[in-house]
Amino acid sequence: MLDDLLRIEREFNQALDEAGSDPDAVEAIRVRYLGRKAELTGLMKKLGTLSKEERPAAGKAINILKQKVAASLQNAADQAGNARRTARLAQERLDVTLPPRMPWTGTVHPTTHARRELESIFRGLGYTVESGPEVEDDFYNFQALNMPPEHPARDGADTFYLDGGLLLRTHTSPVQIRTMQNRKPPLKMICPGRVYRRDWDATHLPMFHQIEALVVDEGITMGDLKGTMDVVWKRYFGGRVRTRLRPAYFPFVEPGCEYDISCQVCAGDGCRICKQSGWIELGGAGMVHPAVFEAAGVDPELYTGFAFGLGIDRIAMMKYGIDDLRLLMENDTRFLRQFPL
Ligand code: PHE
């Protein structure tokens, strides 16, 4: 009997070694050595055939081996469980050092960005921000701006006409009239917005963006106009910008001018963007015509004022070094995702 026990223990240990950390193999060994048909169970049953003297020692030896086997099996099962969990964790491990794939988010369009920046500059100078309708009538777009029906300047405006005497505004200047009708001077306002003209080539689009500026008070001069422009461009471009006024005709200002800023791409030396001139034309300006004041109900004997318009798209192109106006309209995300810079 003792020999049997020693053999069983040896075989058990060897089997357990071979099972390693395979939980199924460990379970099979448990069934084989502790189950109902196990040899040890059989030996237990055979105790009755032994003599009275041999029985207690043999029973004790069987029980000790059973306990050893049970303890070893428990140990092996624990280890197998650990090994299985470790293997699973290794498989599931996340590499938290991998760079994430960033979701695409929308960006602010360069024209919008330029508009917001300019608005904040003008607000800082005490201007209010006004708006007006894009569908205008003849009075606001032309007549009140000193362009009666037969005025030749209307032809040059390339207007989109709509039914019922309405039209798409060709400039933001009608908002000058609307503002003066609603508020008494002194006033300082800007109006950013879309304007429409029948134009379509590399440097002109049928829709583009302007900002109108209007200042009305007693004693406003052309010097205020030039000084205001200098401050605004310096704040916007943050560097050395010169402003140049060139005499030009607009029916709603007198004197009137077009104005340029020194090219921000080449600093005035001459480049492709400024067509080698060193200057970029930004818009028209001048002193508000007395006829405009009268149409808007402001006393031209008491007040003077200046007004100017600027192309937001063009100023954004300058700021960001964009050399094709169409890029601003095509909504190509490869282009737009670069903004704000
Ligand atoms: N409205 C003019 C244009 O669109 C620009 C302008 C504005 C000129 C104000 C003079 C004064 O061309």
Same domain, 128 and 264: yes
Task: For residue range 70-116, list pLDDT tens digits in order.
Answer: 898 888 888 888 888 888 898 888 888 988 888 888 888 999 999 99
Q: Does ligand 1 lie within 6 Å of residue 171's CB atom?
A: yes
In a domain, 130, yes or no: yes
Residues 82, 166: one domain?
no
- Among the candidates 91, 122, 153, a domain finishes at 91
User: For position 140, what pLDDT does the model report?
Assistant: 97
Q: Is 100 domain-assigned?
A: no
**What's the rounded mean pLDDT across residues 212-234?**
96
Tell me the per-residue pLDDT of 158-191, one tens digit each, with 9 for 90 and over: 899 999 989 999 999 999 999 999 999 999 999 9
- Distance from C-alpha of 135 to C-alpha of 141, rounded to nearest angstrom: 10
Report yes or no on 178 lying in a domain: yes
Whether residue 253 sits in one domain with residue 178: yes
Atom of ligand 1 minimally distant from the CA of 213: 9
Statement to judge: residues 65 and 180 lie in one domain:
no
Q: For the chain, what is the mean pLDDT? A: 90
Query: Do residues 202 and 295 both lie within one domain?
Result: yes
Q: Which range of residues forms the domain containing residue 163?
A: 110-336
Do residue 114 and residue 87 come from a single domain? no
| Cα–Cα distance for residue pair 298/292, rounded to 1 Å | 8
Assess contact for 204 and 197: CB atoms under 8 A.
yes
Q: Whose CA is nearest to atom 9 of ligand 1?
A: 308
Flag whether pLDDT at 156 surpasses 70: no
Specify the residue with its C-alpha closest to ligand 1, atom 8.
Answer: 284
Q: Do 18 and 145 fall within a single domain?
A: no
What is the tens place of the pLDDT at every residue in 25-83? 888 888 988 888 888 888 888 888 888 888 888 888 888 888 988 898 888 888 888 88
How far does CA 335 lie from the centroid of its chain? Answer: 13
Could you tell me if the CB of 307 is within 6 A of ligand 1?
yes
Pocket test for ligand 1, best of 136, 142, 173, 215 (most atoms within 8 A of CB): 173
206 shares a domain with 291 = yes
Lowest mean pLDDT among 139-153, 259-273, 280-294: 259-273
Task: Identify whether 209 is part of a domain.
Answer: yes
Residues 87, 150, single domain; the answer is no
Length of the chain: 341
What beta strand segments (E) does the chain contain? 128-129, 135-137, 166-168, 187-196, 207-217, 243-247, 253-262, 279-288, 304-311
Predicted confidence band of residue 273 (pLDDT cuts 50, 70, 90):
confident
Q: Whole-angstrom Cα distance, residue 160 to residue 174?
A: 15
Is residue 114 within 8 A of residue 312, CB to CB? The reply is yes
Compute the chain's Rg from CA coordinates: 45
Residue 176 CA: which ligand 1 atom is closest? 9
Q: Is the CB of 286 under 6 A from ligand 1?
A: yes
Does ligand 1 come within 6 angstroms of the Cβ of 147? no
How far apart are the CA of 142 and the centre of ligand 1, in A?
A: 12
Q: What CATH number is attached to the domain comprising 182?
A: 3.30.930.10
Are 294 and 267 spatial neighbours (Cβ–Cβ below 8 Å)? no
Q: Which of 69-78, 128-137, 296-305 is least confident?
A: 69-78
Number of separate domains in the chain: 2
Looking at the chain, the whole-number percentage of residues with pLDDT higher than 90 is 49
Say if 308 falls within a structural domain: yes
The residue among 64, 91, 118 that closes a domain is: 91
Residues contacting residue 125 through CB under 8 Å, at least 6 positions apart: 188, 228, 231, 232
Q: What is the pLDDT of residue 157?
A: 67
Does one domain contain both 138 and 86? no
Asked if 25 and 160 sit in the same domain, the reply is no
Instruction: Please give the pLDDT value at position 301.
Output: 97
State the pLDDT at residue 123: 98
Using pLDDT thresholds of 50, 70 and 90, give the confidence band for residue 307.
very high
Contact 72, 34 (CB under 8 A): no
Ligand 1 site, residue 191, Cβ cutoff 6 A? no
